[in-house]
Structure 1
């Protein structure tokens, strides 16, 4: 799919003065262009309709109508990516703002947490024959790997799967007593949905960490809802990560408590091997 903003960036040095005004309008007000006719756009930019037509053709669009189709894609991606954020760039202000937002994300997740769903998930995970953690993309993949890192050391057979094809293949091997913990920030990962559908046909249980009411949640036996507003600062990493990490740590802690002596012995073995190879301080973290 053509990205007209990338095309514009390449040809901008060659544009006329009038075309540069139209380029500025495209970046600042794509929603206006979507609702306007060619005459309206020309009047707002202070140019003639033929100039608008020439500008559209410079961007590879045969007509103003075709141009508006491309503008719709720009608007769908979000205008917040087109302008600089107005927040302070002072490092101390950025640090304080990030800390406050991380705390808010964790607190907001806790406030809206369905603890009954969490406890049902803990019961499934603690007694699972196999735990497969699914995630695809930035935050979701990271959470899948982190869950695998937390659960295996409790003596649980665990695998992290972050590739769509591998998720489908893993799903095909699962059976009753196996559990998938699927993480999806958007809840709209349709390839993951297909894998979850397949796993359920073979008897596996599905726990979803995602937005309630979305396709991923619809496939879950248990949904732990995580729905955090991201805000408009696109330069700041996603705040949803902290909500997902909070739930991951909560599940890991409660599963460890549920497994009791079995988890404690598994952790002791891990620490014993690490102590004999490199760790001399018993109070250091278990692993790196």
Structure 2
């Protein structure tokens, strides 16, 4: 039995006493993991045999096994055991999401490495071909957005969101290529392997990731983003706004590095859109 599922009792199957003991555990996780059965029973206001029977109904062999299972449960973080819900109404959620997005951008503005941005933009503009590596949800979005920004500036770029494909592309990368990669944790071992392959082939790699991480150590140019994550596990990470802002900064610098080339491609795209979709030039360049 999954201990978290048993303690939270989403199906409402616990008796009154078991429900009270489960609530006591969830509210006093640190104490429950370290207490003796006697101390636990005394603080919970029950007898030690009652505690043992409760542990067995939770799917454990006894109180010692219960503590082991509880420790495993908390290894993923107490915020996933006792999730905080500080916002519920649409107004509260809107305020929370927007405030955290603004905070992420403000903190990025204070820490962004401008020299790394300029070096990365120079590599991207000078590349014969750009490979953009991401995986999982957020980094996939980031590298797809980089492709969306750079192709319209006349860059040859392809995004890949599969670890195996990324490794094969790294092993086959040719001189003149540049790789851009994203990793929100900096602990993506598969990406580190790709970066090591690229280094062996003297293909430069730009990464946006946490500083002093394995991914950062394996890259040539690091655009570090070190933002704290909040305790609300239900709100999507606000860090992705900072990553998207870095993509926009790079795209803008790449465009300015060769304005005639960027303007020529942008004009060709806009001409087609005006002719077949808009009828004027006031709409965005792409939906």
Give yes or no for TM over 0.5. yes
Distance 1:177 1:41, change over 3 A: farther
Task: Tell me how far apart the structure 2 counterparts of residues 28 and 169 of structure 1 sit (CA, whole Å).
Answer: 49
Task: Tell me how far apart the structure 2 counterparts of residues 50 and 164 of structure 1 sit (CA, whole Å).
Answer: 51
Q: TM-score under structure 2 normalisation?
A: 0.91
1:178-225 Cα deviation digits (max 9, x unpaired)? 222111111111222122222222222111111101111111111111
SS of 2:174 mapped into structure 1? coil
Alignment of 1:255 with 2:219, yes or no, is no
SS of 2:215 mapped into structure 1? helix
Shift of 1:32: 2.0
**1:19–1:51 CA contact under 8 A, matched in 2:** no
Shift of 1:52: 2.6
The residue aligned with 1:72 is: 71
Shift of 1:136: 1.8
The residue aligned with 1:54 is: 53
Shift of 1:63: 3.9
Q: TM-score under structure 1 normalisation?
A: 0.90
Shift of 1:230: 2.1
Cα RMSD of the aligned pairs, angstroms, is 2.2
**1:18–1:51 CA contact under 8 A, matched in 2:** no
Task: Tell me how far apart the structure 2 counterparts of residues 89 and 233 of structure 1 sit (CA, whole Å).
Answer: 12
Alignment of 1:43 with 2:23, yes or no, is no
1:257-285 Cα deviation digits (max 9, x unpaired)? 11221111111222222223212221211
**2:124–2:254 CA contact under 8 A, matched in 1:** yes
Shift of 1:81: 3.4
The residue aligned with 1:146 is: 145
Alignment of 1:193 with 2:171, yes or no, is no
Shift of 1:11: 8.5
Bigger mean CA offset, 118-127 vs 16-25: 16-25
Bigger mean CA offset, 127-136 vs 71-80: 71-80
User: Which consecutive unaligned segments of at least 5 residues does structure 1 have?
Assistant: none
Shift of 1:140: 1.4
**1:30–1:74 CA contact under 8 A, matched in 2:** no
The residue aligned with 2:99 is: 100
SS of 2:132 mapped into structure 1? strand
The residue aligned with 2:183 is: 184
- Once the two structures are superposed, the pairs formed by residues 77-226 of structure 1 within 5 Å of their partners are 77-83=76-82, 85=84, 87-226=86-225
Task: Tell me how far apart the structure 2 counterparts of residues 243 and 168 of structure 1 sit (CA, whole Å).
Answer: 27
SS of 1:278 mapped into structure 2? helix
**1:105–1:242 CA contact under 8 A, matched in 2:** yes
Distance 1:83 1:34, change over 3 A: closer
**2:74–2:81 CA contact under 8 A, matched in 1:** no
- Once the two structures are superposed, the pairs formed by residues 256-271 of structure 1 within 5 Å of their partners are 256-271=255-270
Task: Tell me how far apart the structure 2 counterparts of residues 3 and 150 of structure 1 sit (CA, whole Å).
Answer: 45
